[in-house]
Amino acid sequence: MGGDKVFLEKGEEVTLPVIYQSFDAGWEDASVDDTYFWASPPCSSTHQPSLVITSDGRTVSKLALHAQLVPYKVSNHVRLFVPEKEQLVHSMRVEVGRHVKFVEGRKVYVRCAVAEVVCSVDEEKNTNAYNLTFKYRPPPAPHTTSLHFLFYSDPYHTLLFDIHRVTVHSLHRLDLSCTLGQTDSAAVVLRGGPMARRVHCAVGGGDVAVGVERVVVPAGGLCEVPLIVRPKRVDVGNVVLNVVDTDTHALVSSWLLIPHIKYPPITKSFDITVPKGTSLNKRISYTNPYPTPKTFHLHTPTPHLLTFKSPHLILPAEGTEYIGLRLLATDAHSGDVLVLLNDEEDRIEECLRLRVVYV
């Protein structure tokens, strides 16, 4: 027979202490603005455990407990956008205040309210900070999961001192292959449901644009949403594409656009020496390789190091002109600066590399 046993004399009374602990967060904290993002189904805000008292196998009394769950007091909130069904491995730094009282040295214990999450915490040497590392595989997109990490200063999870919240947005994945400084195209394929619907497509990045913002997805059919990609830097981050029904304002689909950017091939290279801490004007000659007049558009992925006298270069058939350059002052010792010449369709015709040494 399981459970604790209490022996009572006739007419004797006893007080039964009850300790109840739950890792459910109750309803979401209203202080966090989630109007832009989609919401997960709310969790139950009440628990009803029961306490049964038996004697010789017979039920003597039954006490029902009503536990009202309140939202966590979250001190830090992080949003992560990850591809669906891919394992998420993430680390974050957690500061621990001096008011925290530890039971065993400075050891910190962590618990996540979601059972599918594997988490651990390690102490940073000579600091008051800890590194939280967790693994989680999100469900199919689109879906949002709120992960609450509870930090305790004792191994029995009774001395809670901090709570962090991580919101994981599960999205469809689309890899984009593109070239630095050049306009490339891609497309997202939307699959229609049981009925046709009008949708609005929006992205949150300046290097990726939607060719057509409003489209009609046919019932049971496919619809392509054209994308225009023009990366200005190699270290461009991921971009989120949201597809929303224009009538119901419901989220239809979400995509994580992952650009894979490559450098254009170098066609010519020049060595330039610039006095350190000063700007310098230079010019290089360029010959039109075409038997027809041509207009080139000049730009560079490093505008903080180089500007042009004119953003356009108009050349006659097989003619030669000078490109006016102004190398700006910098504290660097040396570096490569790219000069890109694009045609009317924004395709790279030439990529000139300037090997600049600052002395």
The DSSP secondary structure of 138-177, one letter per residue, reads --SSSEEEEEEEEEESSTTS--EEEEEEEEEEEEEEEEEE
pLDDT exceeds cutoff 50 at 35:
no
Query: Using CA atoms, how far apart are residues 38 and 169, in angstroms rounded to an integer?
Result: 9
User: What pLDDT shows up at residue 56?
Assistant: 74
197: left (phi over 0), alpha (psi -120 to 50) or beta: beta
- DSSP strands (E only) in 180-316: 184-191, 197-203, 208-210, 214-217, 222-229, 239-245, 251-262, 268-274, 280-287, 294-299, 306-308, 312-315
Q: What is the mean pLDDT of residues 28-57?
A: 52
Query: Using CA atoms, how far apart are residues 243 and 215, in angstroms rounded to an integer?
Result: 10
| CB neighbour class for 35 (10 Å; exposed up to 12, middle 13-18, buried from 19) | exposed
pLDDT exceeds cutoff 90 at 236:
no
pLDDT exceeds cutoff 80 at 130:
yes
| 199, two tokens | 């949708």
Query: Using CA atoms, how far apart are residues 233 and 304, in angstroms rounded to an integer?
Result: 12
Quickly state the pLDDT bin for 319 (edges 50, 70, 90). Answer: very high
User: What pLDDT shows up at residue 48?
Assistant: 61
| 191, two tokens | 């699959």
Query: Using CA atoms, how far apart are residues 226 and 128, in angstroms rounded to an integer?
Result: 49
> What does the DSSP 8-state code read for residue 328?
P
pLDDT exceeds cutoff 90 at 217:
yes
| Residues 220/192, Cβ–Cβ less than 8 Å | yes
Domain 268-358 - what CATH class? mainly beta
Q: Which stretch of 53-57, 98-102, 328-332 has the lowest confidence by average pLDDT?
A: 53-57
Fold matches, 76-171 and 180-262? yes
Query: Using CA atoms, how far apart are residues 208 and 258, in angstroms rounded to an integer?
Result: 10
User: What pLDDT shows up at residue 50?
Assistant: 66
Q: Which of 28-37, 56-65, 185-194 has the highest mean pLDDT?
A: 185-194
Query: Using CA atoms, how far apart are residues 133 and 93, in angstroms rounded to an integer?
Result: 9
| 192, two tokens | 């229609």
44 or 52, which is more confident? Answer: 52
180-262 maps to CATH 2.60.40.10: yes
User: What pLDDT shows up at residue 25?
Assistant: 66
pLDDT exceeds cutoff 90 at 55:
no
56: left (phi over 0), alpha (psi -120 to 50) or beta: left
Q: Which residues pair with 88 in a beta bridge?
A: 136
pLDDT exceeds cutoff 90 at 241:
yes
Q: Which stretch of 30-44, 57-71, 92-106, 228-242 has the lowest confidence by average pLDDT?
A: 30-44
CA-to-CA dists, residue 252 to 142, 143, 148, angstroms: 8, 11, 27
User: What pLDDT shows up at residue 62?
Assistant: 76
Q: What is the mean pLDDT of residues 279-292?
A: 93
Question: Which pTM was predicted?
Answer: 0.75
Question: Any idea where the domains of the chain sit in the sequence?
Answer: 76-171, 180-262, 268-358
Buried b or exposed e, range 159-176, using 16+ CB within 10 angstroms: ebbbbbbbbbbbbbebeb
pLDDT exceeds cutoff 70 at 47:
no
Query: Using CA atoms, how far apart are residues 159 and 104, in angstroms rounded to an integer?
Result: 12
pLDDT exceeds cutoff 90 at 210:
yes
The per-residue pLDDT of the chain, averaged, comes to 87
76-171 maps to CATH 2.60.40: yes
% the chain with pLDDT above 70: 91
Q: Which stretch of 29-38, 39-48, 69-78, 86-95 has the lowest confidence by average pLDDT?
A: 29-38
Query: Using CA atoms, how far apart are residues 7 and 323, in angstroms rounded to an integer?
Result: 98
